[in-house]
Amino acid sequence: MDKHIKSANEAAEKIVEWGEEHKIETCFERAEKMKPCPIGASGACCKVCHMGPCRLVGKNAETEARGVCGATLPTVAARNMVRMIAAGTACHGDHGRDMVFTLLAVANGETKDFQIKDVRKLYRIAGILDIEFEGRPVNDVAKDVATKLLEDYGRQRGEVNFIKRAPKKTQERWKKWGITPRGIDREIAEAMDRTTIGMDADPDSLLTQGLRAALANGWGGSMISTEVTDILFGTPMPIKAEASLGIFKENEVNLVIHGHEPSLAETIVDVASEPEMIVYAQSKGAKGINIGGLCCTANEVLMRRGIPTAGGFTNQELAIMTGLVEAMVVDVQCIMPAIVETSKKFHTKVITTSEKAKIPGATHISFDEHKAREIAKEIIKIAVDNFANRKKEGSHVTEKYPVIAGFSHEYIEYMQGGRWRASFRPLNDAIMAGRIRGVVGVVGCDNPRVPATGTHKFLAMELIKNDVLVITTGCGSQACGIAGYLTPEMALDHAGPGLREVCEAIGIPPVLHLGACVDNTRILTIASAMAGEGGLSDEIGGMPAVGIAPEWMSEKAIAIGCYFAASGVPVIFGGESPVGSSEEVTRIMTDVWFERFKGAMHFEPDPEKILELTLDYIDKARAALKLKKYEPGKFGAERVLMDMAARREIERAAKPHIGL
């Protein structure tokens, strides 16, 4: 990879260069100017009390350095890690909570602006929660589901509801090591409590609570968010769309939706296509209204509505710098405050909508799910009215790539056998036979401290060449989308022979888009289903599967990495380790966690070494499961994969109509 480029995405790089010529600062320039403090970056700085901050550095710091209170370096590094997990869990937990409140408002008839789009999914979740649904009004079931899920936040004893979805053996490990989460808020509170001055000083004990909080995210807040979002807005199935900073249209009003929660974004998509709004846009000289997504909001409306995406985290300022964006509406998470400063150089209006995420200088319009359409209309009108103010300045790019997005757990199950024989059997069989060497999640943020999106691209490409099925979420999926990697053609052009055959037979791309950051939980339910199917590991741990967050930057990513590690997945994060100062903490998060949970959390800045470590984990898991040794192009016997035509034939015979 070229070290001098700022973004590995060509369109983004063009805009960054244009910005440099026009003296418009971006995160890339700020990342160059703002070098990380090496003490804080490696987890050796403690600032939890006002006797400090204490810097635990120097010769033999691991054993000899002490803060004013006597805290050691491993204690301090572990505390820093646990606080990151708590923050990430709080962030995704709150996202899930907001989604449940919307579901409750719908169930109580308090809003007419949202409906339950996927009743089937509501029933599926009601079944998991032991809520009776047969013969009951949909809204009554929804109310019970929402109420039961809200209990997960405030529960003091017992366990989070979705824990029981994990394989029995995985649950037993959690029980044995005391990390089964009780309530989402409780685990966050205890993590914060234990990490204050004078509390838990044992790094292993601290990190154990970190894992419990992380599981409260993965099998709690994030999973709640995924499931409730599907209930409200539909369970995703593959849909075609476009990706790139080139999605903006010269002759239309461009409105960008950015952030995480889909409620307002979905309403904006609905309202913007109504004749009244189109006529209004035309009255202002525009041909129509073009909605584009950014970051995880983009994932939500991309996979359910086919809305084009302008990319991930590092593209947010660049979208404004095209000069074509009339308004950027944001809600929560991963919104750079810098967009307001950038917008001042153009005509773009930045509109914040959450009480939890305001930015000085932005226009604030509070979102309220009870009057979502009214608010969406107001926002769209601001964008339309601003069309006349568009100036000539900006770096227009035109390249675009097609993407196929929206592989939910339910669809992956369906695509392997149809509605009546849905299963994970063919995937397990393909792995057992060595056609697919393993499954790797390449997920998480893109980062201006490396050529942004470059490590995602490198790993996704190398892995599929090695017959590894890649699944992707969050900004990782955006990185793949804007590179043109989310298409079935990728299999023909680049995948290894076994993976290519499987992709061709089922008609899927070798890089599967699973959704937003919260949708990493889809990977948990898929892994649980694979364990239940048999033939591989009977728990999540021990599968030929690895998670990678090659360019992570957010505390949410840390919480996600830790819930995968605790669930039994070896995880590799790019960049320098935030606990790299302590050998003991590093050992606990790798060796000790692997021994206890079959998962681990590594940090590795070198992309080649990430690849090597990933394939090593996969091959060792294959050997431990006594699967056929992976050899490119040489496969063992397996069941015949049904193609789409064969599947439809079976379904036609069973029932005249199919659907998810």
Give residues in contact with ligand MSK (CB under 6 A): 260, 295-296, 312-313, 333-334, 444-445, 474-475, 516-517, 554, 556-557
Q: Which tokens belong to 104?
A: 């409750």
Q: Which tokens belong to 48?
A: 């939890």
Asked if 427 interacts with ligand SF4 (CB under 6 A), we say no
Question: Least Å distance between CB 568 and ligand SF4?
Answer: 33
Question: Least Å distance between CB 292 and ligand MSK?
Answer: 15
Dihedral angle of Cα 208, 209, 211, 216, to the nearest 10 degrees: 150
Asked if 54 interacts with ligand SF4 (CB under 6 A), we say yes
Which residue is it, tokens 């805290």?
Answer: 71
Asked if 58 interacts with ligand SF4 (CB under 6 A), we say no
Question: Least Å distance between CB 200 and ligand SF4?
Answer: 12
Q: Which tokens belong to 267?
A: 């309403």
Distance CA 130, CA 150 (A): 15
Nearer to ligand MSK, 95 or 182 (CB): 95
Asked if 202 interacts with ligand SF4 (CB under 6 A), we say no
Asked if 39 interacts with ligand SF4 (CB under 6 A), we say no
Question: Least Å distance between CB 512 and ligand MSK?
Answer: 16
Q: Residues 557, 88: contact at Cβ < 8 Å?
A: yes
Asked if 73 interacts with ligand SF4 (CB under 6 A), we say no
Closest C-alpha among 191, 257, 13, 275 to residue 558:
191
Nearer to ligand MSK, 74 or 444 (CB): 444
Distance CA 371, CA 462 (A): 47
For ligand SF4 (CB under 6 A), the number of binding residues is 14
Which residue is it, tokens 């021994």?
Answer: 595
Q: Which of 22, 32, 34, 47 binds ligand SF4 (CB under 6 A)?
A: 47
Sign (positive or negative) of CA dihedral 471, 476, 478, 481:
negative
Q: Report the partner that residue 146 touches, choosing among ligand SF4, ligand MSK, none (CB closer than 5 to 8 A by kind).
A: none
Q: Which stretch binds ligand SF4 (CB under 6 A): 32-40, 50-58, 555-563, 642-650?
A: 50-58
Q: Report the partner that residue 517 touches, choosing among ligand MSK, ligand SF4, none (CB closer than 5 to 8 A by kind).
A: ligand MSK
Helix intervals (H) in 2-137: 10-21, 27-33, 38-41, 61-64, 73-107, 119-128
Distance CA 12, CA 562 (A): 31
Distance CA 234, CA 121 (A): 8
Nearer to ligand SF4, 74 or 406 (CB): 74
Q: Which tokens belong to 427?
A: 């995937």
Nearer to ligand SF4, 68 or 646 (CB): 68
* Secondary structure in 3-state letters for 196-257: CCCCCCCHHHHHHHHHHHHHHHHHHHHHHHHHHHHHHHCCCCCEEEEECHHHCCCCCEEEEE
Q: Which of 31, 41, 49, 505 binds ligand SF4 (CB under 6 A)?
A: 49
**Strand pairing category for 545-549 and 363-364:** unpaired
Q: Report the partner that residue 295 touches, choosing among ligand SF4, ligand MSK, none (CB closer than 5 to 8 A by kind).
A: ligand MSK
Asked if 197 interacts with ligand SF4 (CB under 6 A), we say yes
Q: Which stretch binds ligand SF4 (CB under 6 A): 66-74, 381-389, 575-583, 629-637?
A: 66-74
Asked if 298 interacts with ligand SF4 (CB under 6 A), we say no
Asked if 605 interacts with ligand SF4 (CB under 6 A), we say no
Q: Which stretch binds ligand SF4 (CB under 6 A): 6-14, 43-51, 97-105, 298-306?
A: 43-51
Binding site for ligand SF4 (CB under 6 A): 46-49, 51-54, 67-69, 71, 76, 197
